[in-house]
Structure 1
Amino acid sequence: MEETRRTQVVIIGAGPSGLLLGQLLHRHGIDHVILESRSADYVLGRVRAGVLEQPTIAALREAGVGDRAEQEGLRMNGFDLRWDEESCHIDFSRIGKHATVYGQTRVTRDLMDARVACGGITLYEAGDVQPHDLESSRPYVTYRHEGRQWRMDCDFIAGCDGFHGVSRQSIPKSALQEYALTFPFGWLALLADVPPVSEEVAWINHADGFLMCSLRSRTRSRYYVQVPATEDIRHWDADKFWDLYRSRLPSDLAEKLVTGPALEMSIAPLRSYVCTTMRHGRLFLVGDAAHIVPPTGAKGLNLAVGDAKELADALRRHYLDHDTSDLDGYRDRALARIWKAVRFSWWMTNLTHKMTDNPFARQMQLAEFEYTRSSEAAQIAIAENFCGLETA
């Protein structure tokens, strides 16, 4: 027998965007429930990137969870572009900004801790989650939890359940407008408790494929290397990774490389995807449910946070000021920000990866690098895009 509950907003998905939206709604006094199909441990076990723009830190601070990121995160004042044995430093001080290195897992944990502290309701391992009546004024969500079937009546539904989630799939195909590009390669990633090979994050273009030096702390590193999209993680171990990685490093970094056991290894496909149908009736798409970017531009988490903040502000105005204009404009405002980030991530991917075997393409990359090294304007443009463009 189905039992019925009611809330103002149902949030589907307890990743960073869903949890952040929940904390912001809590601080605005807006009733809500989060439904998550996975367990809390599974959500925390997802290893993702962690370069946070200043507006992201500000949104976390507004949600009451910014202290750890500001105190424990590593300040990122720039990064290095490397090719062959050459390099160009992108200095964020030229635009008066910086970024913060703080892993997405830690952001998620901070948000989970804050949610427990405030008594917010998150139902983990909720099965068969399905939104209904999205185009009516009385939408609802059905789900199964702890062996019982439930119906949650609400005013609005926020789809924060990622690229493969049910939220976007609930929109009729005839209403969806989607744009996609899948790259023919992915990133093989390794996380290890070893000191980083570089004091600053480095994006490295090698003739045989991209690699990246990243860090989570002064003693924990995360390294990436380009592999074909068809690569199988079962064919890889730490020793094989280190051999390939060292072979592509510039000589000055190769001699500093410290290797060690892998805490985690994975292969992530690279794709660009935007669903411009970010609102359908009373359903709003947030984060990866609406867009995916290759991690080359460090935009994924920041875009998701921007969506959550945008929607939280619009819902606050609706409930507290009885003004629906921000809800009506959510899609257009979000997309103005999203397309710029998608462009930058696409451009960085084309610059730093082996795209084809065509020698002309390689020469164009090298020319682009040399131009960037000689042009302050080009370096400023990269810094502006990386740190997050101002929105109107």
Structure 2
Amino acid sequence: MMRTQVAIIGSGPAGLLLGALLGKAGIDTVIVEARSQAYVAARIRAGVLEEGTTRLLQAVGCGARMKVEGLVHEGFGLAFAGRQHRIDLPAHAGGRTVTVYGQTEVTRDLMAHRAAQGWASVYEAANVALHDFGGEAPSVTYEKDGVTHTIACDFIAGCDGYHGVSRASVPDAAKALYERVYPFGWLGVLADVPPADHELVYANHPRGFALCSMRSMTRSRYYVQVPTSDKVDAWSDDAFWDELRRRLPERIADAVTPGPSIEKSIAPLRSFVCEPMRFGRLFLAGDAAHIVPPTGAKGLNLAASDVHYLSQGLIEHYGERSDSGVDAYSGRALSRIWKAERFSWWMTSTLHRFPDTDSFGQRMQEAELDYLTQSAAATSSLAENYVGLPY
């Protein structure tokens, strides 16, 4: 039997960052991951990082490559009614900015750091199960190479995503689930072409939403809204580029450089929250506890604020023998989560075409965006939510 202080389920950014924060404080952790390390490291996700997230990465010693390769953005574009308006983030959000640095790169940096520190990680763990987290002696079991292993621990951190075992291990009667599934998805294409603009551009169009994003100045990530019934195979690269340009103002459309797709996928959109986020000695963090539509770029950033709160509580438990931090974890995290859920829902509702969005609804969306860009107060509200509420 293995013994650790905190067993972390899941080796995505939430689990790895929590492990790094606890490890820096001298708290022993073991990460248990169902997938292979190569699979986790290769997952392609968005990467607009709030300053709170970048500060945490720097604090644990994982900010060097981000500082060199990350792109600091001081604004983004809103395109609607055939024109584009720039949101100046520092001017409307107290000087704050965001950094474009892919989640894939964040994961790789955290993995490399964990390996360099010699902290234990188990990959390709089959049949992971959580035991007795409602009592004083929780444990985790898993199978590896045909052998069942047990990890005894003080606490379990469930950082294993929406489909993971952690939340599923909690009895239905002990949790409340809140969910909204949107009637569309994002068809995304990754290509080694320069971005259409030096900042992100979010577009509202009668044909549907579009987003011009990037991973670097030579690699771009573009999205168009599609029905949930669409299949990736039905979209050729040429069809994607043509549809993308139809939804953009002329200047941005002309700047789009088509190229062969490296990766193409359709992501469904949903809003989801599980309450509470603590069940005895089990804590949920990241996508295990909540999902936001990607419109507001909050998924990874919420995971970071979750593990910030959780690490503070656990460090206080071991260092000061006080449980006030772990007792407050769920409430503190959920307060910030629901504000981010609201913002992501609002961005999604304002920028996308819904099945019941008729010509009147389209003009109402455009009027909302026009007001937003003309009102200093409304622009400030957008900017402060986009860069991330403080924690």
- The interval holding the TM-score normalised by the smaller chain is over 0.9
**Residues matched between the structures, number:** 388
Which SS does the other structure have where 1:217 is aligned?
coil
Give, in whole Å, the separation in 1 of the partners of 2:358 and 2:163.
34
Cα distance in structure 2, aligned partners of 1:214 and 1:357: 25
Q: Give deviations 1:36-64, integer Å, cap 9, x for gaps.
A: 00001110121000000000011111111
Query: Paired residue for 1:259?
Result: 258
Tell me the equivalent position of 1:321.
320
TM-superposed deviation, 1:146: 2.4
1:50 aligns with 2:38: no
Q: Which residue of 2 aligns with 1:92?
A: 89
Contact kept, 8 Å, 1:10 with 1:34, in 2: the verdict is yes
Contact conserved, 2:11 with 2:159, CA < 8 A, in 1? yes
Aligned partner of 2:138 in structure 1 is 139
Q: CA deviation at 1:253?
A: 1.4
Name stretches of at least 5 consecutive residues in structure 2 with no aligned partner.
none
State the TM-score, normalized to the length of structure 2. Answer: 0.98
Give the 3-state SS of the residue equivalent to 1:255 in structure 2: helix
Identity %: 53
Q: Does 1:72 align with 2:69?
A: yes
The 5-angstrom pairing of residues 1-392 of structure 1 reads: 4-94=1-91, 95-355=94-354, 356-391=356-391
Contact 1:233/1:266 (<8 A) preserved: yes
What's the CA shift for 1:70? 2.0
Q: Structure 1 unaligned runs (5+)? A: none
Pairwise CA distance, 1:162: 0.1
- Structure 1, 47-56 or 226-235: larger mean CA deviation: 226-235
Name the CA distance, whole Å, in 1 between partners of 2:289 and 2:13: 14
- In 2, distance between residues paired with 1:254 and 1:331? 44
Q: Which amino acid aligns with 2:16?
A: L
Shift of 1:357: 3.3
Q: How far is the alpha carbon of 1:374 from its aligned partner?
A: 1.3
CA shift digits 1:275-304 (9 cap, x unpaired)? 012011110000000000000000000000
Question: Is the CA contact 2:79–2:248 (under 8 Å) kept in the aligned structure 1?
Answer: no
TM-score by length of 1: 0.97
Separation of aligned partners in 1, 2:240 and 2:287: 29
Hey, what's the Cα distance between the residues in 2 that align with 1:82 and 1:244?
A: 15
1: CA distance between counterparts of 2:299 and 2:211? 17
**Which amino acid counterpart does residue 40 of structure 2 have in structure 1?**
V
Shift of 1:164: 0.1
Q: Does the 8 Å CA contact 1:163/1:288 hold for their aligned counterparts?
A: yes
- 1:237 Cα deviation after fit: 2.5
1:349-389 deviations in Å (ceiling 9; x for gaps): 01111123322211210110111121111111100000011
Aligned-residue RMSD, C-alpha: 0.9
Aligned with 1:275: secondary structure?
A: strand
CA distance in 2, matches of 1:255, 1:30: 53
Q: Tell me the SS of whatever aligns to 1:151.
A: strand
Q: Deviations over 1:299-353 (max 9, x none)?
A: 0000001111111111100001111100000000001110000000000001111
CA–CA distance in 2 between the matches of 1:153 and 1:306?
27
In 2, Cα distance between equivalents of 1:78 and 1:266: 27
**1:42 partner amino acid:** Y
Misfit runs of 4+, over 3 Å: none
